[in-house]
Structure 1
Amino acid sequence: MKISNLRKMYGKQTILNNISVEASKGQIIGLVGNNGSGKTTLLKCISNLIVDYQGEIELDGKLAFSIESPTFYDDLTVFTNLTLFSELAGSQKVNIEEALQQVKLKDAKNKKFKQLSLGMKQKLSIARILLDHSDIILLDEPFNGLDILTKEQLKELMIMLRSRGKLLIVSSHILEELGEISDAIWYLREGNIQSIINLHDDNRVYKIVVSKNSVVRKMLQEKYHARWCFDKDQNSIFKIEILKKDIYTTLKSLINDNVLVIEFTDVTMDIRELMAEEG
């Protein structure tokens, strides 16, 4: 999938501002951002639910999506809903029993949709996607309102889909869950891609806490290219990007430069740190 110069406006308000990103099959992309950052609008543009945008979206394969609340027919059973949707989609050689087994809903196949919990509804959405044999899957806030066990089951499903060569783009406020399963993070802020973080390359992001000192602050910024984040009490907090092979020598060099290091923490997988406001 390739998105080039995507721009979406509502009146004079810019919702998406010149978005250009790429993703490959066999990946899970975590889409993060605060409320109003444009996450759902971006997913709707990709899925063609919004068509009046500028720019280009190129999809290499069949697309399936679950955006906003899962929607099925309230008075039909789980099994009947999946049968109906697979027929409407023209899906061939579907195995509804197998799909329900994979999402752990086989015992609920005769329940009506309106009787399902939120977690079961999310699983049913994924079962529908499984029947569609799509290459690209968009999931909007799939962890909302779920208990711990259901979250774990959903993560297992997403990892299974990735292992089958699917591309998943998952939007979520539940940052811990995304950090555990994502290969890359797209951080959307006020309609712009603020950061793209590859969670599996050799770059590591470390948070460094040092005693507050203007000389040390200047030295960290100039010599180590550390990004100052903020001061807290008597300490200053920085972030520094380091190659894996350079972690030991960097820490040793900091000590040799008489930097009083209070904390030195790998926060590469901590999406909350990625989204933290910088000074």
Structure 2
Amino acid sequence: MIDIENLSKSYGDKTVLENITLNLVKGKVYGIVGENGAGKTTLFNCISGLEKYRGTINCEYGIPKISLGYLQTEPYFFSKITGLEYLKLLCNARNLEPLDFIEKNIFDLPLNEYAINYSTGMKKKLALTAILLQENKFFILDEPFNGVDIHSNMIITEIIQQLKRLDKTILISSHIFSTLNETCDEIFLLKNKTISMRVKKEQFGILENEMKDYSIGNRISKLNLK
């Protein structure tokens, strides 16, 4: 279980997040939606310990980042590290026994090539594979489906379902509402610096319609398309 209480984040005089309170339990998949710039990635960075914040985060696993697998929107790789070396590095960081990385290369990545030369989707799949091999208990997946081919999207969806069956805690963001509808038990709407709505699966349609009304409104009619 992860308890987040009154988490707030500011950059100078600009407040980005204000009094975020969430309770995330094992065996559940949670989604966060919001417009670009709403603060989703900032929230993830705070939870993972990459950003300082006000408020408290309590995790039954101990320090969150010790048992956290964080898939960032744009994973970072050293310029001279191969895909294989990257997998070894992240597993060594958790003192795991040597693995057969070739066998576990489920996305058929060119592991002997430099990761920096991978496509956007390949980088994301490499980073995801690494955090899965770490045997983490808590996962944050920031736009896991973005830039990834349809075949891999299906694999990632099944991975999320399998993590849920293994009693992991999963927090994901996505601009593709159908993927959240398929994977999440509960979705939070991040709006105006805070969680303005939280809905369970049977209410996802209500949230989707509200987001459409808010995002689209009469914008398209202004184009006077012909």
The answer to whether the superposition gives a TM-score over 0.5 is yes
Task: Say if 1:143 and 1:151, in contact at 8 Å, map to a contact too.
Answer: yes
Deviation at 1:137, TM superposition (A): 0.8
Runs (4 or more) in structure 1 with deviation over 6 Å come to none
User: Once the two structures are superposed, what CA deviation does each residue of 1:135-184 show, in whole Å capped at 9, x if it has no partner?
Assistant: 11111111112222221121112112222111111112122211111111
Deviation at 1:94, TM superposition (A): 4.5
Deviation at 1:77, TM superposition (A): 2.4
Aligned pairs for 1:18-33 within 5 A = 18-33=19-34
Cross-structure match for 1:169: 171
If asked which structure has higher relative contact order (CA below 8 Å, sep 6+), I would say 2
Structure 1 position 190 matched with structure 2 position 195: no
Larger Rg: 1
Question: Where does structure 2 lack aligned partners over 5 or more consecutive residues?
Answer: 62-66, 218-226
Q: 2:99 aligns with which of 95, 103, 111?
A: 95
Quick one: structure 1 residues 128 and 194, their matched pair in 2 at CA, closer, same or farther if it must change by over 3 Å?
Answer: same
Task: Say if 2:3 and 2:58, in contact at 8 Å, map to a contact too.
Answer: yes
Identity of aligned residues (%): 33
Task: Say if 1:78 and 1:111, in contact at 8 Å, map to a contact too.
Answer: yes
Deviation at 1:118, TM superposition (A): 2.2
Cross-structure match for 1:104: 107
Deviation at 1:269, TM superposition (A): 4.5
Aligned pairs for 1:43-82 within 5 A = 43-51=44-52, 53-61=53-61, 62-82=67-87
Which AA in structure 1 matches 2:60?
A: D
Count matched residues.
Answer: 209
Task: Say if 1:5 and 1:20, in contact at 8 Å, map to a contact too.
Answer: yes
Cα distance in 1 for partners of 2:206, 2:153 equals 18
Which AA in structure 2 matches 1:29?
A: Y
Cα distance in 2 for partners of 1:160, 1:115 equals 30
Cα distance in 1 for partners of 2:18, 2:128 equals 30
Quick one: structure 1 residues 99 and 2, their matched pair in 2 at CA, closer, same or farther if it must change by over 3 Å?
Answer: farther
TM-score by length of structure 2 reads 0.83
Cα distance in 2 for partners of 1:6, 1:163 equals 29
